Amino acid sequence: MSYIPADLRRAVLAQSGGCCEYCRIRQDDSGVGYNIEHIIAVFHGGQTVVNNLALSCSRCNLYKGVNIAAADPYIGDPTFLFHPRRHNW
């Protein structure tokens, strides 16, 4: 786990609007704290910078893991997972 300084945590919280950036459920409505996670995992060369960090509920964070892509269930081709800085809902 990478250390994320307090000022960087505040910036991620501000840009997320207090919602999980994957499922959009508000942290205040969940009853549990959310994680700040790397969109592109450190394992894959991701950096600990505001544009590569996202507020994430535990379910989304655990489901995504370090993955950045997965096999399309219909055709089997690799496809990138949702990226909250590049994709829109």
Is 74 among the domain residues?
yes
Predicted local confidence at residue 86, as pLDDT: 77
Give mean pLDDT, residues 61-69: 76
Q: Please indicate, yes or no, if residue 71 is contained in any of the structural domains.
A: yes
Mean pLDDT of 79-87: 77
* Residue 58 in domain: yes
Domain assignment present for residue 89? The answer is no
Q: What percent of the chain has pLDDT over 90?
A: 40
Structural domain count, the chain: 1
Structural domain of residue 18, as residue ranges? 6-80
Note whether residue 87 is domain-resident: no
Query: pLDDT (tens digit, 9 = 90+) per residue, 18-52?
Result: 999 988 999 988 888 899 999 888 888 889 999 99
Q: What is the CATH number of the domain that holds 49?
A: 1.10.30
d(CA 67, CA 72): 14
Residue 53 belongs to some domain of the structure: yes
Residue 2 has pLDDT above 70, yes or no: no
- The whole-angstrom separation of Cα 25 and Cα 3 is 25
Q: Is residue 85 part of a domain?
A: no
The mean per-residue pLDDT over the stretch 77-82 comes to: 78
Using a cut of 0.85, tell me whether the model's pTM lies above it: no
Which residue stretches of the chain are H helix? 6-16, 27-30, 58-64
